[in-house]
């Protein structure tokens, strides 16, 4: 990652949620993912609209989104991605800061595949509300969201284990071709059961994804 420093998503400090950073963009884990692996790629500069970014910033934002999408799709064993930008209040943007939603998808993960767009624009996807709830709660709640995601080490690779999220090493995931099995993608919980995650849970996921991003960068330079 590029040199670290305070990271802001709108007016919210998200430094501990950052798992990848370039000079012009950064990627963060989400407070309350709509589906497992739902992350955000944001411009470093806090501006509300895509048109407010320079050519260099736009280029970096989308190159970063492409790179992060490759990693989260592999890590979460997805078969595709929803990539969305709510560009302005009229488009449903709740935090006035350019950001791209990357949401790993699998066949039949929702009753209707297009339901994800309604979720993004619903109260469940209101990022301003979710980040305010995060900041208004205790910084480190003692009651974790359910079920708890735990970081474990398997074959010297950090992976996620738990009932709602799973991850595998990039090398292992890339070897899982159709007919040979794939990483299991969890059944999404109803919104009323999806609780905002604790800072500890988000930091754990961010650290794990940061390892995979670093591995991707190393392999890309070979």
- Supply the residues annotated as catalytic: 99
Instruction: Determine the Cα–Cα distance for residues 4 and 18; give it in Å rounded to an integer.
Output: 10
Backbone angles phi, psi at 92, to 5 degrees: 95, 5
User: According to the annotation, is 93 in a ligand binding site?
Assistant: yes
User: According to the annotation, is 101 in a ligand binding site?
Assistant: yes
User: According to the annotation, is 86 in a ligand binding site?
Assistant: yes
DSSP annotation string for 34-96: SSTT-EEEEESS--SSGGGS-HHHHHHHHHHHHHHHHHHHHHTT-SEEEEE---SGGGT--SS
Instruction: Determine the Cα–Cα distance for residues 120 and 28; give it in Å rounded to an integer.
Output: 17
Kindly provide the b/e burial profile for residues 63-81, where b requires at least 16 CB atoms within 10 angstroms of the residue's own CB: ebbebbbebbbbbbbbeeb
User: According to the annotation, is 219 in a ligand binding site?
Assistant: no
User: According to the annotation, is 80 in a ligand binding site?
Assistant: no
User: According to the annotation, is 95 in a ligand binding site?
Assistant: yes
Instruction: Determine the Cα–Cα distance for residues 105 and 115; give it in Å rounded to an integer.
Output: 12
At 212, list the tokens.
């995979």
Residues at the annotated binding site?
A: 30, 86, 92-95, 101
Residues at the annotated binding site for substrate?
A: 30, 86, 92-95, 101
């Amino acid at each position: 990652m590029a040199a670290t420093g305070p990271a802001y998503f709108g007016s919210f400090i998200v430094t501990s949620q950052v798992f990848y950073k370039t000079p012009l963009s950064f990627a963060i884990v989400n407070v309350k993912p709509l589906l497992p692996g739902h992350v955000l790629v944001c411009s470093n500069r806090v501006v509300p609209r895509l048109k407010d970014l320079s050519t260099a910033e736009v280029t970096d934002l989308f190159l970063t989104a492409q790179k992060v999408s490759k990693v989260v799709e592999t890590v979460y064993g997805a078969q595709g991605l929803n990539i969305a930008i709510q560009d302005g209040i009229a488009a449903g943007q709740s935090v006035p800061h350019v950001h791209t939603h990357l949401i790993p998808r699998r066949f039949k993960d929702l009753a209707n595949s297009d339901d994800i767009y309604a979720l993004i624009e619903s109260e469940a996807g209101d990022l301003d509300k979710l980040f305010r709830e995060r900041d208004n709660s205790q910084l480190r709640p003692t009651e974790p969201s359910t079920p708890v995601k735990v970081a474990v080490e398997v074959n010297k690779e950090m992976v996620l284990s738990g009932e709602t999220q799973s991850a595998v090493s990039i090398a292992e995931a890339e070897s899982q071709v159709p007919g040979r099995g794939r990483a299991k993608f969890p059944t999404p919980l109803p919104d009323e059961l999806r609780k905002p995650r604790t800072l500890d849970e988000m930091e754990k996921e961010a650290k794990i994804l940061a390892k995979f991003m670093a591995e991707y960068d190393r392999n890309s330079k070979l």
